[in-house]
Amino acid sequence: MTAMELRPDSQGKVRDIYDAGDSLLMVASDRISAFDYILPDEIPYKGEVLSRISAFWFEKLADVVPNHLVSMDPHDFPAEFLPYEEYLSGRAMLVRKAEPIKIECVVRGYLTGSIKEAYDATGEVDGIALPAGLVEASPLPEPLFTPSTKADVGDHDENISYERCVELIGEDLASQIRDLSISLYTEASSYARTRGIIIADTKFEFGIIDGRVTLIDECLTPDSSRFWDAASYEEGKVQPGYDKQYVRDWLKDNWDFTGEPPRLPSEVIERTSARYRDAYEIITGSTFLPMASKKERSSEYQKRKQQA
């Protein structure tokens, strides 16, 4: 496999972005971030899972909101990327350029993580009062939209109130992304339940394309969501998941959050990779085979073209 030698035009925690004229080439690496730090180790196959599961959701949720995906077929990419076809297969998406809305649109359906801490302290989440007696992993009365600012690489996202969101981007745009986020979460959660998955929370990003609010970046991946096994779900305890919570938990137990993040043990890397691949298989109903396999790559692209 030939790794990319071209320098990206911009780089996020996980994705490398290349300007492709009217479009962008968005390449999901195997890097992993946690607590807004990029960790020193990579997770095998992670980039492919992120891009391929995003493409699955983009197609499934297209009736809710348009998205920026153009193609995942390397033969549709500009010619300068063809030498890297094997590396890009499955992990790269050609997408339309958008004017980003610089708000992380977080939707939460269950009490866990940072909002559990806020609830325990105040009985509220971002100024929203919740019923008394909720415990870890309790379902919320209704999905909560809890936005945050989108930080640059190396900085930390900042949770903000909906009112502050309105101040930053205006009432019309704020209400649109709130309502779309909740609609996307609600529809995706209903489908995921049929696959035995609970989506505890997730985050979306939006941009403006041709004057319309459009879903961009990634969609309902193990990086951006907490996926729980519905069969083993039990209110009142921390849930095992098909996401990077395993890495977060290991870091909490083995790092004091000073200095640079520690190296991950091989067991943590391997189990995290397995969790990502399991998430893909359970949600999509398809066996995960790396797209670097030319036979699999050809088969999947032919199937996609026949469906187009």
**Residue 133 placed within a domain:** yes
CATH code of the domain in which 157 resides: 3.30.470.20
**Residue 135 placed within a domain:** yes
Number of domains in the chain: 1
Q: Is the pLDDT of residue 245 over 50?
A: yes
**Residue 13 placed within a domain:** no
The residue segments making up the domain with residue 235 are 100-244
One-letter identity of residue 160: I
Three-class SS of residue 52?
Answer: helix
Q: What angle do CA 37, 41, 47 make, to 5 degrees?
A: 85
Q: Note the pLDDT of residue 296.
A: 43
**Residue 42 placed within a domain:** no
Give 120-137 pLDDT, tens digit per residue.
999 999 888 999 999 999
**Residue 28 placed within a domain:** no
* Confidence band for 5, pLDDT divided at 50, 70 and 90: confident
Mean pLDDT of all residues in 85-92: 94
* Confidence band for 291, pLDDT divided at 50, 70 and 90: confident
Give 144-166 pLDDT, tens digit per residue.
999 999 766 555 678 899 999 99
Task: Report the distance separating Cα 200 and Cα 202, nearest Å.
Answer: 7
Q: Note the pLDDT of residue 36.
A: 83
- Is residue 104 within a helix (H) or strand (E), and if so which, with residue range? strand 103-110
Q: Is the pLDDT of residue 299 over 60?
A: no
Q: Note the pLDDT of residue 157.
A: 74
Q: What burial letters (b/e) apply to 229-238, b meaning 16+ CB within 10 Å? A: eeeebeeeee
Rounded percentage of the chain residues whose pLDDT exceeds 90: 85
Task: Report the distance separating Cα 191 and Cα 54, nearest Å.
Answer: 15
Q: Is the pLDDT of residue 28 over 70?
A: yes
Rounded percentage of the chain residues whose pLDDT exceeds 70: 92
Task: Report the distance separating Cα 1 and Cα 223, nearest Å.
Answer: 24
Task: Report the distance separating Cα 169 and Cα 114, nearest Å.
Answer: 24
Residue 132's Cβ-count burial label (10 Å; 0-12, 13-18, 19+) is exposed
Q: Note the pLDDT of residue 304.
A: 42
